[in-house]
Structure 1
Amino acid sequence: MRTVYERQRLSCWLVILIISVGSLVLPMISVTGAGESTSPDSLMSQGLRSYRQGAFDRALAEWKQAAAHYEQEGRTKEQSQALVQAAQASASMGQTSQALQQLDLALSLASKAGDRTWTASVLENLGRTYIAARNSAAATTTLKQALEMAEADGNGQLTALIQNDLGVVAVLEHQDGEALSLFLAAANGAEATGDRSLIARANINAARMALKLNQAENARDYLDRSSDVLTRFDPSHEQSLDLIEVGLGYQQLIPLMPAMHAPLLLRSAGVLVEAANVAHNIGDKRMQSYADGYLGLLYETEFRNDEALHLTRRAVFSAQAANAPESLYRWQRQLGRQLAAAGKLDEAISSYVSAAETLRPIRQEVAAASEFGAVTGDDSVRGLFFEFADLLLKRASLTADPKIAEQYLRSARDAIEAYKAAELRDYFRDQCVDTLQSKLTRLDTVSPTTAVIYPIVFPDRTELLVSLPGTFTRFSVPVTAQLLTQEVRAFRRTVEKRTSREYLPHAQQMYEWLIRPIESELIRLKIETLVFVPDGVLRTIPMSALHDGSMFLIQKYAVALTPGLFLTDPRPLNRENIRFLAGGLTNSVQGFPALPYVAEEVKSIRTLYDADQLLNQEFRTPKLEQELRESRYGILHIATHGKFSTDVDDSFLLTFDGKLTMSNLDRLIGLFRFRQDPLELLTLSACQTGVGDDRAALGLAGVAIKAGARSALATLWFINDEASATLVTEFYRQLRSPGVSKAKAMQSAQIKLLEDRVYEHPAYWSPFLLLNNWL
């Protein structure tokens, strides 16, 4: 199992791979004294000096001003050079869109100037910035174009730089062997041309890949080469950053080379101290915070707690002085963890609160970097909130006053809620979650016969926070995250096998862990509906198919799911004058099999609700858009093939002539989100998510939110469309009855299939999930 520092220490790695993989390009410009002139050449020198000190905002302003002067003087190539430098400053601050705009103009000017070598250099910068913008396809195309020009011109330095960039692209595409080869080629090319900066970076990148490929000895050799080169650098922001990366690399080697623990520890600490000294000497508070922070983390892992606290506090101070929130929240989190280890729980809680507040405005950028830099496997956002929740639960257990203890329990749940909302924002890449959260009712306060079950999976245990009528309580289950994940994967894999009862032991085990601890309370309070707020792996299984040894959970309780307590709008269905649109495919199109029973499904819906319909050739995106714009539907039923994937861009619903992505769906019916009478129910029949794909299940859980619907009905896997038609028809029939909630209607429909000997296996009825508003 990875230790805390192994998970956290790599968070700076993305910076070296993406932002700083290129050398600053300042042809014909030399660094001179500051303040002597406001000429464009002088501004270029001042910008370089500012950049090397880590003052990216000042460097950006100076280089933009230089570009404006060059434009006035008609010096096209110099204007292009200034724009490239400005783009690098923008990218270093995470402003990739602005950087791309500056580089597009720089490329146009380079082409106009007719300088082939400079054009290739601009293309390299553009390709590198496409990497930072998470557009690997555009990066590859642009970099290969630059590489072809550089090789044709015999420009070895630029060729090596581009090879390093292409290595980063290979990393992001999980081509680790190819990435290592490219980084080594870049390092060799840099040696041949004497580019010391690139020698250091390419070897650092090669070391990271060697570590990933379990080549510890090679990784150490690459780190040693980089360290040797870095000692000959003039003090700069890049030198400090590279030294930090080398120090982190040595840290990662420690558990892989236990016989070398002491020398590697000393080497790591020495390099980090050197990085801190460089940062201090040039006044780079941002890099000083990283160097001190990671050194504090190193001391923490060696149980030298006093030194760890001192260094981490110093890192917090430096990050505050640098106005560097992307650094600050990390050290506030680390300080909280160290204070908790010292038994100072209230101070630790305060530090975690500060970390969460610091993270909030930059969360999207941090999450994008975490997703994009999947090399590290580190989710610093998740770690922060789960550590915070764990600390609050510990504080609750030490609190004698039940009312105060309950406040800590609710705060722990709210910390996980904050993470869940952020997770959905990042998956869908928009602010639909914020729009919904601003107008919601607390889910756990709306029904006296409902229990809300909130599992939180920690590495060493699983916590169940349960909202019951009049009380909020906690049950701790001694099952580790690893064991729970194994059982969930086995349950999901076997429950889909229609001719086997292999699922039963797993269904019973999940019942023992998730339901049995609270069962007596459910019976005592006469609970009728269970609303689960699952996290991670638990999103991938049908809770309705849990089994107590004699019957399924759905035979005892109506079941619903929601991705978050504060992401649900719990209001009863308004049945008066509700308009219904049913659409889908019965024919085989685009290589997908026919769904002949969809016609029967839609016919039954039309009989029950006098619904409008769009079938086969009419089920096209433009026609669907026209219907949704011109009519005020309350229920939208779509029966077609669909897939939820890890990447929201790969998730779709099949139409007659194309694929309706989640973004298209949002565009089509997102206006419901802002109406006084939003879409009550979105049903997606015949969809599926991949086994073990937790992130795809996140998309499924959040589809109602994305579409602006109060509720969604969707499936975890594709099932017999005859069974689907029977279940869906019964669901809508039950839903016509006044006073019947959506959850109760779904329970009746699932039990109807369960009691049919043909469809009694849970593979037929359990994949249907009622999501969000269950009333």
Structure 2
Amino acid sequence: MARRSFRFLLTLFTIALAIALALGQVSTIKAQTLTSNLVQQGVKEYQQGQYQAAIASWQQALADYQATEDNPNTVIVLENLARVYQHIGQAEQAIAFWSQVTDRYQQLGDKQKLGRSLTEQAQAYSSLGQHRQAIAILCGESNHKNQCSDNSAIAIAQATADPLGEVAAQGSLGETYRLRGDYAKAVGYLEASLKIAQAIKNRQLQMSALTSLGNNYSSLAQVSYRRAESAVSRGDIYGSRGVEYAIDSPVMKLRTEGKQQDKSALNYFQASLKLATQQGNSSEQVRSLISSLPIYYRLQDFSAAAKSKQQAQALIATLTPESTTVYATIDLAKLLQPEQVSFTSCYNADSLPAAQALLQQGVDLAKQLQDNRATSFALGELGHLYECSQDYEQALELTQKARLSAEKDKDSLYLWEWQTGRILLAQGKSEAAITAYETAIAP
């Protein structure tokens, strides 16, 4: 069974790695009433990383505003709740609130805010892997000749002359196509997003578009390398003059193409890193550095990889407490070594201490955030680390905790059932292992 990519998860849970919405900020309410004070209290709690407290404050404010049928202030609180749930990785709750937000903006006739809220709703769907639904919201079902339907986020942004909304919607659509594996289609939307972001001089959105383009070209490079491996297995290794592995042989052309795509990806990541450094944006710096690591390994530039790892490890401790930080710690732990960490490969002895520290940091933060999904992945990966060091009792205990956390967000449950089976098999408990494997593959 393939191990789920945590780099993929990092991208999903930040759609800011995809398209960090500058418009996605929690809002205050001007009128100084008891209810508005609750809203402002929630904003302060949110900014301090006290997300559950912020939710409680906003839920109370929401009930008050709904009781008085105060639509404008109700929609502000609904937006804040949608964003905080997305922020802590609870996308299903976020979607439910975004549905209420879009309904309210339609009632209020505010087309610009409707378009922007549709984009954020689409991001929440994308974070759950529901890419078709996200595409429908961003551009429409058919997307014929790149013409989006009138009620889509992109069309609304264009109709209301909202460049900020359009750059976010275009970028989100490009990222969604990238996550679906439609890299050629993704490039067009991501480049359009970058162009608009540069025109309006929005650095945050430029960084997001640059990082997403880098991820897209990195994925294209991996496709080229896989095609090169297939060419070798087919015997397509001869050039026009019959020389093995000649520069004009199919396999070498594909390898060259992959290297060029990797270099393009690095250029995008470095451009994003430069902007992030200028802006003092640690989160975007970490994303660019982590995303660059697999490319440095593929190009065998181990000096650059070591420098990027060192920078990322130093910066990651400074990040704000949120779900994206949890996935960043997992991702970095898995990329501390050139050899890919998977179900069939392990952390090497040199990387174990640093990886363990990062994963424990991720576990602690996920628990603090009360994010079951992030807790599940962090605990499960830490369990795999102990499995690699053959401490099967500790590995099994952590994996079982990951399973319990996954019961509430079931998309990772099969991973930990499978890992449980593998650990039990290593302990010689064949019957229990078979039961775990059967549970993992059960519909």
TM-score of the pair, normalised by structure 2: 0.73
Name the amino acid aligned to 2:6.
C
CA–CA separation in structure 1 for the residues paired with 2:413 and 2:306:
30
- Corresponding residue SS for 1:234: coil
**Residues 315-355 of structure 1: per-residue CA shift (max 9 Å, x gap):** 111112x2323x11111111111101101000001010011
* Selected match of 2:23 from 14, 23, 26: 26
Structure 1 contact 96–129 (Cα < 8 Å) conserved: yes
Instruction: Give the match for residue 521 of structure 1.
Output: none
Residue number among 93, 109, 126 corresponding to 2:173 in the alignment: 126
Q: Partner amino acid for 2:262?
A: D
The answer to whether the 8 Å contact 2:190/2:209 transfers is yes
Give the residue type in structure 2 aligned to 1:244: I
Q: Deviations over 1:509-557 (max 9, x none)?
A: xxxxxxxxxxxxxxxxxxxxxxxxxxxxxxxxxxxxxxxxxxxxxxxxx
Deviation at 1:242, TM superposition (A): 1.1
Q: Is the aligned partner of 1:309 residue 2:303?
A: no
Question: Which of structures 1 and 2 has the larger relative contact order (alpha carbons within 8 angstroms, sep 6+)?
Answer: 2
1:239 paired to 2:286: no
C-alpha distance in 1, partners of 2:340/2:162? Answer: 48
Q: Which residue of 2 aligns with 1:215?
A: 301
Correspondence for 1:277: 364
Partner of 2:153: 106
Mapped to 1, the partners of 2:272 and 2:397 lie a distance apart of: 39
Pick from 97, 121, 124 the counterpart of residue 86 of structure 1: 121
Q: Assess, with a 3 A threshold, how the Cα gap between structure 1 residues 317 and 220 changes in structure 2: closer, same or farther.
A: farther
- The question of 1:165 aligning with 2:212 is answered yes
Structure 2 Cα separation of the partners of residues 114 and 152 of structure 1: 14
Could you tell me which of 308, 321, 331 is aligned with 2:416? 331
TM superposition shift of 1:263:
5.8
Deviation of residue 26 (structure 1)? Answer: 3.1
CA contact (8 A) 2:10 2:324 kept: no
Q: Where in structure 1 are there 5+ consecutive unaligned residues?
A: 1-6, 361-775
Q: Secondary structure at the match of 1:173?
A: helix
**Where does residue 182 of structure 2 map in the other structure?**
135
Whether the 8 Å contact between 1:254 and 1:265 is mirrored in structure 2 is: no
Matched, 1:179 2:265: yes
- Give distance in 1, aligned partners of 2:99 and 2:217: 33
251 and 296 in structure 1: CA distance in 2 versus 1, 3 angstrom threshold? farther
- 1:97 equivalent to 2:132? Answer yes
For 2:105 and 2:157, how far apart are their aligned partners in 1? Answer: 13
Q: Deviations over 1:601-654 (max 9, x none)?
A: xxxxxxxxxxxxxxxxxxxxxxxxxxxxxxxxxxxxxxxxxxxxxxxxxxxxxx
Note the C-alpha offset of 1:76.
1.7
Query: What amino acid maps onto 1:202 in structure 2?
Result: S
**Which runs of structure 2 are paired with 1:736-747 in the superposition (5 Å)?**
none
Aligned counterparts of 2:87 and 2:201: Cα–Cα separation in 1: 29
Decide which structure has the larger Cα Rg and report it. Answer: 1
**Matched letter for residue 151 of structure 1:** Q
How far, CA to CA, are the matches of 2:99 and 2:280 in structure 1? 30
1:72 aligns with 2:159: no
| Distance in structure 2 (CA, Å) of the matches to 1:19 and 1:54 | 7
* d(CA) in 2 for partners of 1:280, 1:27: 24
Of 430, 434, 437, the residue aligned with 1:345 is 430
Structure 2 residue aligned with 1:150 = 197
AA aligned opposite 2:353? L
TM-score if structure 1 supplies the norm length? 0.43
1:195-235 CA-to-partner distances (Å, cap 9, x unmatched) read 33222211110112222322333223223323333322332
**Deviations for 1:152-176, whole angstroms, at most 9, x for unmatched residues?**
3333322221111111211221122
Q: Secondary structure at the match of 1:250?
A: coil
Task: Write the letter of the residue equivalent to 2:395.
Answer: A
Question: Matched residues in 2 for 1:188 and 1:136: separation?
Answer: 25
Query: How far apart in 2 are the matches of 1:69 and 1:92?
Result: 23
Deviations 1:426-446 (A, max 9, x none): xxxxxxxxxxxxxxxxxxxxx
| Percent of pairs with identical residues | 27
Change in 2 beyond 3 A, CA 1:150/1:254 = closer
Equivalent residues in 2 for 1:393-412 (5 A)?
Answer: none
- 1:194 to partner: Cα distance: 3.1
Shift of 1:252: 4.8
Counterpart in the other structure of 1:561: none
Q: Is the 8 A contact 2:366 2:374 kept in 1?
A: yes
Q: Which residue of 1 aligns with 2:233?
A: none
Correspondence 1:46-65 to 2 at 5 A: 46-65=81-100
Residue by residue over 1:538-577, the C-alpha shift from the partner in whole angstroms, topping out at 9 and shown as x without a partner, is xxxxxxxxxxxxxxxxxxxxxxxxxxxxxxxxxxxxxxxx
Specify the SS of the correspondent of 1:201: helix
Cα shift at 1:240: 0.9
For 1:325-474, list aligned pairs within 5 A: 325=411, 327-357=412-442, 360=443
Question: 1:578-593 counterparts in 2 under 5 A?
Answer: none
> Relative to total residues, which structure has the larger helix share, 1 or 2?
2
Change (3 A) 1:146 1:312: same
Tell me the secondary structure at the aligned position of residue 72 of structure 1: helix
CA contact (8 A) 2:175 2:186 kept: yes
Q: Is the 8 A contact 1:329 1:354 kept in 2?
A: yes
* Distance in structure 1 (CA, Å) of the matches to 2:192 and 2:306: 34
Give 1:234's aligned amino acid. Answer: T
Corresponding residue for residue 13 of structure 1: 7
In 1, Cα distance between the equivalents of 2:306 and 2:323? 24
- Paired amino acid for 1:42: V
* Cα 1:279–1:230 shift into 2, 3 Å: same
Residue 17 of structure 1 deviates from its aligned partner by 4.1
Residue 18 (structure 1) shift: 5.5
What is the deviation of 1:277? 0.8
Task: Report deviation, 1:81.
Answer: 1.7
1:740-759 paired onto structure 2 within 5 Å: none
**Counterpart contact for 1:17–1:168, Cα < 8 Å:** no
Counterpart CA distance in 1 for 2:267 and 2:414 is 35
The amino acid of 1:329's aligned partner reads Y
1:245 is displaced (CA, Å) by 0.7
Amino acid at match of 1:94: G
Q: Deviations over 1:259-309 (max 9, x none)?
A: x96663211101100111111111111111111111111111111121111
Deviation readout 1:723-748 (Å, 9 max, x if unpaired): xxxxxxxxxxxxxxxxxxxxxxxxxx
Matches within 5 A, 1:659-674: none
* Stretch of structure 1 that moved more, 149-158 or 21-30: 21-30
Residue 251 of structure 1: CA displacement? 5.2
Structure (1/2) with the larger strand percentage: 1
Cα–Cα, structure 1 residues 114 and 24, in superposed 2: closer, same or farther, change >3 Å? closer
Aligned counterparts of 1:156 and 1:53: Cα–Cα separation in 2? 24
**Deviation of 1:8 (Å):** 6.2
Determine the structure 2 residue equivalent to 1:192.
278
- Matches of 1:151 and 1:244, distance apart in 2: 32
Letter in 1 for 2:332: V
Native 8 Å contact 1:171 1:179 kept in 2 = yes
Q: Which residue is 2:381 aligned to?
A: 294
Counterparts of 1:9 and 1:323 in 2: how far apart (Å)? Answer: 18
Cα distance between partner residues in 2 of 1:330 and 1:97: 24
Contact 2:323 2:374 in 1 (8 A): yes
Q: Is the 8 A contact 1:329 1:355 kept in 2?
A: yes
Distance 1:78 1:315 in 2: 39
Gaps (5+ residues) in structure 2?
Answer: 28-41, 44-56, 67-73, 140-151, 222-260, 342-346
